[in-house]
């Protein structure tokens, strides 16, 4: 017999009033309990500096590659907007804190703008105003009982470093370490969870592969591989820096945030699913989280043989020595995961993408199920089951690491009655519960993207992800709670996912 959780709850509450109700069986109790997150589960919300701060050249801040890209090429943004002011969180961060407090989150994941700390990219330009701003933000969060979780890099490289080749120049490893050092030094006493990079796959393929996003460098098949290589090494160097100079004093943790879809095959081709996973997530996580280290073998083999065929003397995928593999392996205390959607995958019938490129090397075609509901964003289909399957894949592939879901969200036109967002969040939260309870996946936290409507990169202000509405054209930029903010508050208050 199927017993719904709501009827069980009814039975339980009726039980207080009469002798007519039979005691719950163990299975029924478990069913009820399985709708509840563990007591120490962390709920949060996320943003990124460039998308919310505005004040793009105030108080000493230097330009980032995104400032540069949207100013020089307004045509790349759908509504030709920019983030010069946006929700203006640099000045209005207290309104964000009120919104966060309103939903009752345990943590706030925000990013630090590198060019607000080092306007010219390196420590010679250290900006005291930048340090002051984040100090105040961190203090106010803590005063309000909200744990700060800091992303060091969320797409916005100082433009000066881009003039030196940006993330494709190996020297970036030293620059990043120097930047991280200043963050640890000034904020490490209060920030206990650090994320080095947000979504390297996305900013390397789009920024240096096909060049559609900042810094608009089009070097497909080469630039994205150098970028990832340098990012992974910067991450590892930062991890060791923290262990050596700060861990003893501050006892924080260091992770990295990766974006991934889960892939399905209509023909149950598990090799193909694995190939798709390795080419997207594994590219960055195999070196850091696998027991053997290094890039996924499938990528090493394909890209080496493609490179030979192209007449190149070396592989476009940088070579990692045994020592480098060992150095990078294990350099994360937690696995930050951004999950939005999934895809069907099939082997490509004809060569994909530009030759060479990541698309060409991976050689796969992707599809969606027409039954999947689509958000305002063209790429965003709701596939909650994909999150559970992805969590299981991570569990099996990387020995069940601690996972924090650092982003998950839904886009629309900004309506306050955002019932589709509620449905999306509810369905995904349920899958996380199942992953924890049924699959023993080590998921410790979850952050909604995003607490407020903000600048959605190439989509400008045409797609909204916030739990709070912000009209960026208004003078006060009030943060207005949407229905989903109330929904999320209820989830956090009760630790349960409401049935409706």
Q: Which residues bind ligand BGC (CB under 6 A)?
A: 48, 51, 198-199, 202, 259, 338, 407, 449, 456, 465
Instruction: Compute the least distance from the CB of residue 96 to ligand BGC, in Å.
Output: 16
Residue 317 CB partners (closer than 8 Å, separation 6+): 225, 295, 299, 300, 303, 304, 307
Q: How far is the CB of 3 from ligand BGC (least distance, A)?
A: 38
Min dist CB 379 to ligand BGC, Å, is 8
Residue 51 vs 307, nearer CB to ligand BGC: 51
Contact 285, 228 (CB under 8 A): no
Q: Which residues are catalytic?
A: 199, 407
The nearest distance, CB 206 to ligand BGC, in angstroms, is: 10
Residue 352 tokens read as 């994909």
- Closest contact distance (angstroms) between CB of 457 and ligand BGC is 6
Q: Which of 192, 182, 88 is nearest to 138 (CA)?
A: 192
Contact 155, 203 (CB under 8 A): yes
176 φ, ψ to 5°? -65, -40
Nearest approach in angstroms of CB 199 to ligand BGC is 5
To which residue do tokens 């820096």 refer? Answer: 241
| Residue 453 C-beta: closest distance to ligand BGC, Å | 11
Residue 456's alpha-carbon distances to 17, 49, 106, 468, in angstroms, are 52, 12, 25, 15
**Is the Cβ of residue 193 or residue 316 nearer to ligand BGC in the bound state?**
193
* Nearer Cβ to ligand BGC (48/328): 48
Closest residue by beta carbon to ligand BGC = 48
- Closer to ligand BGC by CB, 118 or 449: give it: 449
> Cα separation of 78 and 87, whole Å?
18
Residue 499 tokens read as 């049935």
Q: How far apart are the C-alpha atoms of 96 and 481, rounded to whole Å? A: 11
Nearer CB in complex with ligand BGC: 420/496: 420
The token pair at 52 is 């919310």
Give the Cα separation of 479 and 493 in Å (integer). 21
Cβ-based nearer residue to ligand BGC, 331 or 338: 338
Q: Is 52 helix (H, G, I), strand (E, B) or coil?
A: helix
Residue 16 CB, nearest approach to ligand BGC (Å): 45
Task: Please say which residue, 202 or 471, places its beta carbon nearer to ligand BGC.
Answer: 202
Nearer to ligand BGC, 389 or 407 (CB): 407
Q: Is 383 helix (H, G, I), strand (E, B) or coil?
A: coil
| Secondary element (H or E) of residue 275 | helix 270-277
How many beta carbons lie within 10 A of that of residue 101, not counting itself? 14
The residues with which 44 forms a beta bridge, in sequence order, are 107, 447
DSSP line for 309-362: HTT-SS-SSPP--HHHHHHHTT--SEEEEE----EEEEE-SS--SSSSSHHHHH
**Which runs of E-coded beta strand occur in 199-309?**
253-259, 263-264
Q: Which is nearer to ligand BGC, 127 or 450 (CB)?
A: 450
Decide whether 307 or 342 has the Cβ nearer to ligand BGC: 342
Closest residue by Cα to residue 165 from 205, 124, 207: 207
The answer to whether the peptide bond before residue 344 is cis (omega within 30 degrees of 0) is no
Token readout for 278 is 């390795």
- 90-95 long-range contacts (CB < 8 A, ≥24 apart) are 90/53, 90/54, 90/55, 90/58, 90/133, 91/54, 91/55, 92/477, 93/136, 93/137, 93/140, 94/140, 95/477, 95/478, 95/479
Contact between 118 and 186 under an 8 Å Cβ cutoff? The reply is no
Between helix 128-143 and helix 89-103 the angle, nearest 10°, is 20
Least Å from the CB of residue 449 to ligand BGC: 5
Q: Least distance in Å: CB of 46 to ligand BGC? A: 8
Q: 3-state class of 195 per DSSP?
A: strand
Cβ-proximal residues to 500 (8 Å cutoff; 6+ apart), any chain: none
């Amino acid at each position: 017999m199927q017993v719904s959780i709501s009827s069980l709850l009814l039975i339980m509450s009726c039980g207080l009033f009469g002798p007519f109700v039979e005691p719950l069986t163990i299975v029924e109790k478990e069913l009820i309990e399985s709708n509840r997150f563990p007591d120490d589960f962390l709920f949060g919300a996320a943003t990124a500096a460039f998308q919310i701060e505005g004040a793009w050249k105030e108080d000493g801040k230097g330009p980032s590659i995104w400032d540069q890209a949207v100013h020089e090429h307004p045509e790349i943004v759908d509504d030709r907007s920019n983030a010069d002011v946006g929700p203006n969180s640099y000045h209005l961060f207290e309104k964000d804190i009120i919104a966060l407090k309103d939903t009752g989150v345990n943590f706030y994941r925000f990013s630090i703008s590198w060019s607000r700390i080092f306007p010219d990219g390196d420590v010679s330009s250290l900006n005291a105003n930048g340090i002051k701003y984040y100090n105040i933000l961190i203090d106010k969060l803590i005063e309000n009982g909200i744990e700060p979780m800091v992303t060091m890099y969320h797409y916005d490289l100082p433009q000066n470093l881009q003039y030196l080749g940006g993330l494709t120049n190996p020297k970036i490893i030293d620059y990043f370490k120097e930047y991280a050092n200043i963050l640890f030094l000034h904020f490490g006493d209060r920030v206990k969870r650090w994320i080095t990079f947000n979504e390297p796959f996305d900013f390397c393929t789009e920024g240096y592969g096909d060049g559609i996003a900042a810094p608009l460098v089009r070097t497909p098949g080469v630039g994205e591989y150098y970028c990832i290589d340098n990012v992974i090494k910067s991450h590892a160097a930062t991890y060791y820096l923290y262990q050596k100079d700060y861990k003893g004093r501050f006892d924080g943790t260091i992770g990295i945030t990766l974006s991934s879809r889960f892939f399905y095959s209509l023909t149950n081709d598990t090799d193909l699913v694995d190939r798709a996973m390795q080419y997207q997530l594994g590219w960055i996580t195999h070196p850091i989280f696998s027991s053997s280290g290094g890039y996924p073998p499938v990528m090493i083999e394909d890209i080496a043989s493609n490179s030979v065929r192209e007449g190149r003397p070396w592989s476009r995928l940088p070579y990692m020595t045994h020592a480098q593999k060992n150095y990078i392996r294990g350099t994360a205390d937690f696995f930050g995961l951004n999950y939005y959607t999934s895809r069907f995958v099939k082997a490509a019938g004809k060569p994909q993408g530009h030759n060479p490129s990541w698309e060409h090397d991976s050689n796969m075609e992707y599809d969606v199920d027409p039954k999947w509901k689509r958000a305002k964003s063209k790429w965003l289909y709701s596939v909650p089951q994909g999150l559970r399957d992805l969590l299981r894949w991570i569990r099996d592939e990387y020995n069940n690491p601690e996972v924090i879901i650092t982003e998950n969200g839904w886009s629309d036109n900004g309506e306050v009655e955002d019932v589709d967002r509620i449905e999306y969040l509810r369905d995904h939260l349920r899958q996380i519960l199942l992953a924890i309870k049924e699959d023993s996946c080590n998921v410790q936290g979850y952050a909604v993207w995003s607490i407020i409507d903000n600048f959605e990169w190439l989509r400008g202000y045409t797609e909204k992800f916030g739990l709070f509405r912000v009209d960026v054209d208004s003078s006060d930029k009030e943060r207005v709670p949407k229905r989903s903010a109330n929904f999320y508050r209820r989830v956090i208050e009760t630790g349960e996912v409401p049935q409706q």
